[in-house]
Structure 1
C-alpha cells in the first residue's frame, strides 16, 4: 500500500525511520518546487538514492578520481538502456573496468550524500510505492537507515549555520593571501584542496566540480575559511544568474517526466507547462501534458493537447497513437482511425506493433473481423522474436471468439497465459471460451484461479456466479453475487435479479423483494423483475414453496467479460 504525506507534517527522518522499522521494499519519492529525489529501499535498508538534474553523477566522480577514462565511460554509457547510476555501476563491474571495492565505495558515498541532501528538504511532498521486484535483482550494497539518520541530523544542524554565510552556490570568493600566509592553525585537507580555486572567478558550483568535494564538504570548508577571515565574498557568477535557456528547458522537462512516472500528476503538469512557457514548440512536453489529461480521464483536453503535440516536429509518434485513443474515448472512431493511419505512416521503417494492435482493436469494435485479423497479424510480425503484449493476446483471442472459432481462441489465450500468467483479463476470457464450449466446471475453475490474482475484481465474481448459477450451485453462486454487490453495488441489474431468485428459492421473500427492487432501480424497464415483484403477494406461490417450473422466475444471462477491451497509452 502506498504511503503519501507532506514534509511539513512529517520530516524525511520520520519517514525513513518508519520504512526501516517496517522493513519495507520499494521507492520513496520526494518532491519540492523545482526538485525531485528518490530513495530506494530493500527490506528497510537504503540501496540507492538520486536527485533529478543533480550534478556530480557516479561517472563524473570516477573520472575525476582517474578510475576510468572519460572516453571509455562515454562509450559504455551510450549502450545503456537508461542513464542510471546503478546500471552504470553494474556495467562497469561486468566489464571489469573499475576496481570493485573502489566503485562500491564511491557509489555508496554518493548515495549517502544524496540522502543527507534530502534531509534538508523541509517543504514538499513524499510518496512511497512498494515494489517487491527490487528484491529480484540483488542491490550492489545497502546502508542502514539508522546510520544515515544520525549523520543526517548532524549535517542538517551544521548546514543551517553554513547557509547563513553561503546562501547561494553562485557566489564568488577570493582568498586573502597575506592572512593565509600568516596563519598559525593548519587547514583541513578539504580547505587545502579548494583554496587555489577561490580566486574570484570560480563560484561555489565550480569549486565543487573542480575539487570533487560534495556540497556539504565544500560548504563546510568555505565556511571555516570565511570564519577565520582567510577568504572574502566578492560577488556573484553572471553565468549562474542567467542560466542558458536549453538547460532550464531540460531541467523542467526532466523533472516533469520524473514526476509523471511516479504518479505525481499535478507536479508533472506544472513542470511541463513551465517548459512550454520557455519553449512553446516543445513537442515532448506537450505530449506529456496530454498524457496527464488522459490519466485523469479529461478526454476532450487530451484530444486538444495531443492534436497540437502531433504537429510539433519533435513530437513522438506516440502523440498520434494517444490522440487516437483519446478520440475513441470521446466517440470519434473515424478520427481515431485517421490518427492511427498517420501514426503508421510517420513510424516509417521503425513500425510500432502497438499501433497495428490499436488499428485491430478499432476494426474489431466496428465488426470488421477480416481487417482486424490482418492488423493483428501485422502487429505480431512487427514484434518479431519478441513476445506480443498481453493486450495482443486479448484482442486476438477476442477476434477468434467473435468469429466463432472457439478452438483458435482457446489456443491463443492459453499461449498468452503461458507468457503472462498473472493477467486477469486473459484468465477471464479463457473462462468465457470454456463456457461457450460447454465446459462450465472448467470455466468456473479458471475464474477461481483468476480470483487468486485479483480477488477485488467484481467482474470475475460476476462471471463465476453466472457459471455456478447455471450449474444450479445456488449457494456458491449466492456468495459470488454478494461479493459483486460489496465491490460494485451498481455493477448491473442482473446481479440483484439472480440474488432475488436465490432468496426466493430459499423462501426468504422479503430479501427477494429487496433484491428485485434494487434490480429495478438500476433497470426500471426490466419486465422480468417487474413480473417477479408482482408475483410475490400471491399467497399460493408463497405457501406452496419453491416452484422451479414457475415461469415467473426469470434468469438473465450475465454480461460477457470478453467484450472488455484493454487499452494502453503509447510510450514516449
Structure 2
C-alpha cells in the first residue's frame, strides 16, 4: 500500500513500524491544520525531525540556554552563508560547542518533535522515498523501535505529570531536606548493623529520583526556563519535577516572579526582524528631520509647500527600502529552510514567507531579482 493517507485511519505507530520493517529511506510529511512537520529516515531509523527550519530552531534553543550571544549568532549566520554549511557545523568550527554536545542537542530536538506527534489524533501523512544523508559527527540516528516504546510510555504518563505541573510558567523552590530519624535504641541499631540486608548493601545510597534537576531549581526560573537551560527535553524535566514534588523536596511558589525578571535572549526571527526595525527607524528619523528642516528653513508657505516635494520623494524611497528589507528577510528564511535561494520571488509567496498585510501589498513585478549560483541581486525597477 502507498504510504499516504489519514492519521485517523492509520496511526503514527503503524506508519513508523512499516518504515522500520521495510528499512525505508525518505521523508515523512505530517500535516494537521496549519502545522506541517517532516521526519527524515535512513534505513528505517530517524535522522531528523522538525518544521523544515532546523537552523532557526537550533539557534533559538542555544540563545534561550545562553550558550551563545546575539553577536556570536550574527557572526555564525554570516559564516554559514559564506561557507554554505549548516548552522550546527558552523557552531563546531567556530569553537562555540564541541561536536558531542551538538550531537546531543540535535538528538533532543529530534526526540521532542517526534514525541509531540504521539498526541496527534488527526491529520494526514505522506511518505516520499528519496535519498537522505547526515553528518555522523553531529547526528546520531534514533532507533525507531525505541522511539515507539518510549512514545507509548510518555503518552500514558503525560496526563499525571501535567496535573502536578500544569503550567510552564510555574516557579519552584527547593525545600530544606529533613534529617533522617535516629535509631530507637542501641539494640535496634545493632540488629540493623548485623542484618543480612545491611551487610549486603555496602555501596553508597543511590541518588534520589529527579535529584539531577535540583541545581536548575532556584526559586526564580520558570519551568520553561528550566527546560531551556537543562537541555534534557520537556518530558524528563516534567517527570523529575513530579518526583521531587512527591518526595517533598520542592514546592511551587505562590507568587510569579516572571513579571519582575527581564527576559533573557530572543528568538532567531526576532533577531532578523530587529535588524530591519533598526534600518526602518533610522530612515524614518532621517526623513522626519528633512521635513522639519524644510518647514523651518522657509518663511513662505508657498515656498515650504514647493519644497515639500522632496520629502514626498524621500518617503517613496523609504517605502521601497522597507519592501526591500521584507524581501531580504523572506529570502534569508527561504535559504535557511532549503539551503538555497529561490529561482523567483514568487516562490516566497508560494512558501508563505510573505504573509503580513504589508508584505502582501508588495508588487513583485516592480522588483528585479537575479540569481547567480549561491548569491543574488535585488533591485527595484
Please indicate the TM-score interval, normalised by the length of the shorter structure.
0.5 to 0.7
Aligned residue for 1:142?
141
Deviation of residue 224 (structure 1)? 0.6
Distance verdict in 2 for CA 1:207–1:104, change over 3 Å: closer
Contact persistence 2:174–2:218 (CA under 8 A): yes
Aligned residue for 1:132?
130
Pairing 1:319-334 to 2, within 5 Å after superposition: 319-321=362-364, 324=365
Q: Which has the higher strand share?
A: 2
Q: In 2, distance between residues paired with 1:56 and 1:164? A: 31
Distance verdict in 2 for CA 1:218–1:286, change over 3 Å: closer
Aligned residue for 1:80?
80
Higher radius of gyration, 1 or 2: 1
| 1:208-252: CA deviation from partner (whole Å, max 9, x where unpaired) | 233333211211111011112332233474759xxx9xx89x69x
Q: Which has the higher helix share?
A: 1
Distance verdict in 2 for CA 1:181–1:144, change over 3 Å: same
Structure 2 residues not aligned, in runs of 5+:
182-203, 274-324, 334-344, 376-381
Aligned residue for 1:49?
49
Distance verdict in 2 for CA 1:195–1:208, change over 3 Å: same
Q: In 2, distance between residues paired with 1:201 and 1:61? A: 15
Deviation of residue 81 (structure 1)? 3.9
Aligned residue for 2:370?
353
The one of the two structures with greater contact order (alpha-carbon pairs below 8 A, sep at least 6) is 2
Deviation of residue 44 (structure 1)? 1.7
Q: In 2, distance between residues paired with 1:182 and 1:50? A: 47
TM-score w.r.t. structure 1 length? 0.38
Distance verdict in 2 for CA 1:34–1:193, change over 3 Å: farther
Q: In 2, distance between residues paired with 1:46 and 1:234? A: 40
| 1:153-202: CA deviation from partner (whole Å, max 9, x where unpaired) | 2222222321121122112223332xx23368978477334335445432
Deviation of residue 105 (structure 1)? 4.1
Pairing 1:135-214 to 2, within 5 Å after superposition: 135=133, 140-177=139-176, 180-182=177-179, 188=207, 191-214=210-233
Name which of structure 1's ranges 22-31 and 148-157 shifts more when overlaid on structure 2.
22-31
Deviation of residue 14 (structure 1)? 2.2
Deviation of residue 94 (structure 1)? 5.6
Aligned residue for 1:347?
none
SS at match of 2:125: strand
Aligned residues: 277
Structure 1 residues not aligned, in runs of 5+:
255-281, 297-301, 312-318, 325-338, 345-351, 355-382, 389-572
Pairing 1:287-366 to 2, within 5 Å after superposition: 309=359, 311=361, 319-321=362-364, 324=365, 339=366, 343-344=367-368, 352-353=369-370
Q: In 1, distance between residues paired with 2:110 and 2:208? A: 22
TM-score w.r.t. structure 2 length? 0.54
